[in-house]
């Protein structure tokens, strides 16, 4: 049976770890040719080797999504290699917590630069090629924290909520070009990014895990593969009548 992304070319950012890496594995298994983008060159190289070993067509691009020339180069490399681009999964993100009166402005700016401007830059350079390729799907990784607050999350929550606004506007601008634009709102997912918050919250990783699990309706933390399956849904024709939307995959956290 043909994979859900057979014949498609996808670019995934933040691909070296967590949700991005799980999505790279799933998209490749579903037949996509891939460009994997991350700042972490070493982890990227290991993943590329793994995917090539299972027969995938994949290239990598070491790029900081906050730098326009680096994003443009990753998109150009995709077109040079594969000739088309159908799916942009702008997933790279960082989390730094801090109270507004105390946090370094550099930290606020960096969160915005990676999480919001980075996603915008990816869309800016990818959309013309997706249009030329006959249309496709743009997916932003927002967060459940686009919808609810979290301690010390003024910058992070703002960056993710802004992605939902950008999703809606881009959906209006590019629908006639057959480009769908949606956001994914994961809840707590077992990746390095999640655990990086524990120290600021004054907890060990085990304490933080127990605290999340105790409040999570499904009684557990999510796995990156569970978010990858939602990303596949948004990337593929299974979501063909969906645009401008936010898909929440959070174990019920925001149902509370």
The nearest distance, CB 62 to ligand NAD, in angstroms, is 9
**Distance in angstroms (rounded) separating the CA atoms of residues 196 and 226:** 20
User: Is 11 or 172 the residue whose CB approaches ligand NAD more closely?
Assistant: 11
Active site residue 208: no
The catalytically annotated residue of 125, 129, 156, 208 is 156
Q: Are 190 and 221 in contact (CB under 8 A)?
A: yes
The nearest distance, CB 154 to ligand NAD, in angstroms, is 15
Q: Are 139 and 87 in contact (CB under 8 A)?
A: yes
The nearest distance, CB 205 to ligand NAD, in angstroms, is 13
User: Is 14 or 153 the residue whose CB approaches ligand NAD more closely?
Assistant: 14
User: Is 131 or 226 the residue whose CB approaches ligand NAD more closely?
Assistant: 226
Q: Which residues of 100-110 are buried (b: 16+ CB within 10 A; e: fewer)?
A: eeebeeeebee
Q: What is the dihedral of CA 45, 32, 111, 181, to 10 degrees?
A: 170
CA-based nearest residue to 235, from 1, 57, 7: 7
CA-based nearest residue to 221, from 230, 231, 212: 212
Q: Which residues bind ligand NAD (CB under 6 A)?
A: 13-14, 16-20, 38-40, 64-66, 91-95, 114, 118, 141, 143, 186, 188-189, 191-194
- In the 8-state DSSP scheme, what is residue 116? I
| Burial class for 241, CB neighbours closer than 10 Å (0-12, 13-18, 19+) | exposed
The nearest distance, CB 94 to ligand NAD, in angstroms, is 5
Q: Are 213 and 220 in contact (CB under 8 A)?
A: yes
CA-based nearest residue to 111, from 71, 37, 162: 162
User: Is 134 or 195 the residue whose CB approaches ligand NAD more closely?
Assistant: 195
User: Is 1 or 154 the residue whose CB approaches ligand NAD more closely?
Assistant: 154
The nearest distance, CB 241 to ligand NAD, in angstroms, is 25
Catalytic residue numbers read 156
């Amino acid at each position: 049976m043909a994979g859900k992304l057979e014949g498609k070319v996808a670019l995934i950012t933040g691909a070296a770890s967590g949700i991005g890496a799980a999505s790279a594995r799933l998209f490749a298994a579903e037949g996509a040719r891939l460009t994997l983008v991350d700042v972490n060159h070493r982890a990227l190289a290991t993943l590329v080797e793994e995917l090539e070993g299972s027969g995938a067509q994949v290239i990598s691009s070491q790029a900081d999504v906050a730098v326009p020339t680096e994003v443009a180069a990753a998109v150009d490399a995709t077109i040079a290699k594969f000739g088309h681009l159908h799916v942009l999964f702008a997933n790279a993100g960082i989390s730094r917590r801090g109270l507004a009166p105390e946090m370094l402005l550099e930290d606020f700016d960096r969160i915005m630069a990676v999480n919001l401007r980075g996603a915008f830059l990816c869309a800016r350079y990818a959309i013309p090629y997706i249009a030329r390729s006959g249309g496709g799907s743009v997916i932003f990784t927002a967060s459940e924290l686009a919808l609810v607050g979290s301690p010390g999350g003024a910058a992070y929550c703002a960056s993710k909520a802004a992605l939902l606004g950008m999703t809606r506007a881009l959906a209006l601008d590019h629908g006639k070009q057959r480009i769908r634009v949606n956001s994914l709102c994961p809840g707590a997912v077992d990746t390095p990014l999640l655990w990086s918050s524990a120290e600021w919250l004054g907890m060990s990783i085990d304490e933080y895990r127990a605290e999340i699990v105790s409040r999570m309706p499904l009684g557990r933390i999510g796995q990156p593969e569970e978010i990858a399956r939602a990303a596949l849904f948004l990337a593929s024709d299974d979501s063909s009548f969906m645009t401008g939307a936010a898909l929440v995959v959070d174990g019920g956290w925001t149902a509370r």
